[in-house]
């Protein structure tokens, strides 16, 4: 007989607890046409040596992650996307890439403006973690439905642009991610995200604990967000896509 054990957040790593909570809200992803299992395993091996650092970074940003989870629920997007800033910026709200993508979600200026963020010499809302989250989730919502609720294709489009993914589908004559000819960077990006889900999405015991919904605080107000010092020195940890 299957039994459920009530486990509180203090008893399990936050990285797992936030996903348990998300699943308790019904925020499961429709992950079909999953990427190549061998490539996911390769990316998992890349991430595994950094597991402690990644978990620490997730823990110190738990208030922001809980906010992201609630906004994902609002947009009816997969809860696993709460891990996307870990891949993009390692939750560094000040991150800037060589391609001029910036902030938590690594939005380029054109995409940021497309989803109503102010980006100019005087103000750049990409570096506001809450305002930029709203824009990023609106973009992800658009991509998720454009690509038939396929998480792999949504991620590919977020990384490479929806036009490139659409053209790859047209050329391949099907919508299977594994059949598309996409840039190597995009292929690595998608498989690394699925590896990140594997790293934190399944408890070691192999069963899903029940996390009381009251264990997590309510959505934080925007003006309550403050940067807190890391519990350990995480400065060497780059965006996970750069590992």
Catalytic residue annotation? 88
Residue located via tokens 């005087």: 122
For residue 119, report the phi and psi dihedrals to the nearest 5 degrees. -135, 100
Q: How many other C-beta atoms can be found within 10 angstroms of the C-beta atom of residue 49?
A: 9
SS3 readout for 160-214? HCHHHHHHHHHHHCCCCHHHCCCCHHHHHHHHHHHHHHHHHHCCCCCCCCECCHH
User: What are the angstrom distances between the C-alpha of 11 and each of 37, 119, 162, 217, 243?
Assistant: 31, 42, 41, 16, 30
Token code pair at residue 52: 């402690």
Q: What is the chain's alpha carbon radius of gyration, rounded to the nearest angstrom?
A: 18
Kindly state the DSSP code that residue 147 receives in the 8-state scheme. T
């Amino acid at each position: 007989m299957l039994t459920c054990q009530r486990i509180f957040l203090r008893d399990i790593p936050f990285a797992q607890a936030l996903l348990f909570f998300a699943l308790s809200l019904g925020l499961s992803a429709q992950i079909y046409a999953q990427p190549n299992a061998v490539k996911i395993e390769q990316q998992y091996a890349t991430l595994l040596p950094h597991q402690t650092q990644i978990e620490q970074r997730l823990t110190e940003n738990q208030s922001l992650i809980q906010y992201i989870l609630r906004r994902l629920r609002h947009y009816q997007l997969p809860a696993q996307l709460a891990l996307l800033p870990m891949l993009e910026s390692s939750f560094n709200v000040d991150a800037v890439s060589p391609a001029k993508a910036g902030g938590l979600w690594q939005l380029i200026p054109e995409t940021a403006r497309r989803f109503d963020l102010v980006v100019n010499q005087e103000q750049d809302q990409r570096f506001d973690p809450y305002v930029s989250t709203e824009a990023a989730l609106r973009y992800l919502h658009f991509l998720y439905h454009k690509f038939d609720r396929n998480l792999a294709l949504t991620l590919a489009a977020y990384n490479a642009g929806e036009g490139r993914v659409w053209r790859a589908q047209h050329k391949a004559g099907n919508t299977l991610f594994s059949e598309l000819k996409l840039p190597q960077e995009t292929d690595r990006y998608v498989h690394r995200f699925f590896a990140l889900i594997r790293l934190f999405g399944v408890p070691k015991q192999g069963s899903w604990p029940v996390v009381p919904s009251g264990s997590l605080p309510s959505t934080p107000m925007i003006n309550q967000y403050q940067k807190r010092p890391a519990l350990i020195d995480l400065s060497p940890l780059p965006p996970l896509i750069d590992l």
